[in-house]
């Protein structure tokens, strides 16, 4: 399979890269690897929606893939999500994209600037209806993600996000990745490992090493299984 792995930072997949065979690179952002029978491109976009959208659009215009994977760490909204838990994200939404109207937030859909059911949206959400089916993915809990451009630490804003979206995880790239893959008709999955809770900023409560270690285990199993999977969208 030809697989595109999309990450914000190389640190999130550094353990995985030690098991791949490096075959070359195209500039600063794209590296080529082999793993078993897979041809793997690693696209390191940088943090955030804009970087992700630009580099994905550029890469999809010059190469087709059997599967695209967005992987990395994430924040969890509920303390019931154990730090280090790896999730398969099956739905994403752009968080707080719209207008602040006094104490209320109005989305682009609320403002009538975007049809919430126009392709690729479904009720304002971006949904992965046909992820690949493997043993590893079946075992991963499923989550809904909110993609933000700012890490919020104010209690009232966090509570607003929880009430508006009822999501499980927060990242800064997921929705841009979903949008690009759905628009291009490329099969995709997003896998995120919880490194922290979305709360007042206290890095002592984060555990990035554990999140990356567990993410790496899931990715290793998944790549081995994908050799046996036929994917269609």
Q: 58-108: per-residue pLDDT in tens?
A: 999 999 999 999 999 999 998 889 999 999 999 999 998 889 887 788 899
- Write the CA distances from 137 to 34, 63, 114, 177, integer angstroms: 22, 25, 33, 19
3-class SS at 64? coil
pLDDT of residue 232: 42
Domains recognised in the chain with CATH numbers: 2-226 (3.40.50.1580)
pLDDT tens-digit series, residues 3-47:
999 999 999 999 999 999 999 999 899 999 999 889 999 999 999
Q: What is the pLDDT of residue 233?
A: 37
Round the average pLDDT of the chain to a whole number and report it: 92
């Amino acid at each position: 399979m030809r697989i595109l792995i999309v990450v914000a930072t190389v640190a999130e997949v550094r353990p995985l890269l030690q098991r791949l065979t490096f075959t070359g690179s195209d500039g600063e952002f794209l590296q080529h690897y082999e793993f078993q029978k897979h041809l793997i491109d690693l696209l390191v976009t940088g943090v955030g929606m804009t970087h992700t959208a630009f580099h994905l659009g550029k890469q999809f215009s010059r190469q087709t893939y059997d599967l695209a994977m967005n992987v990395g760490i994430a924040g969890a909204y509920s303390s019931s999500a154990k730090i280090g838990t790896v999730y398969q994200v099956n739905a994403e939404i752009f968080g707080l994209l719209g207008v602040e109207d006094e104490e209320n937030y109005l989305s682009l859909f609320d403002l009538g600037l975007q049809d919430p059911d126009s392709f690729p949206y479904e009720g304002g959400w971006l949904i992965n209806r046909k992820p690949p089916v493997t043993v590893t993915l079946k075992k991963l809990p499923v989550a809904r993600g909110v993609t933000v451009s700012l890490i919020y630490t104010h209690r009232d804003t966090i509570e607003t996000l929880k009430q508006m979206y009822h999501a499980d995880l927060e990242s800064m790239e997921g929705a841009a990745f979903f949008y690009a893959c759905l628009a291009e008709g490329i099969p995709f999955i997003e896998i995120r490992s919880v490194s922290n809770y979305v709360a007042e900023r206290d890095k002592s409560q984060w555990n990035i090493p554990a999140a990356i270690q567990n993410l790496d285990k899931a990715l290793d199993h998944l790549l081995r299984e994908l050799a046996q999977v036929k994917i269609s969208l």
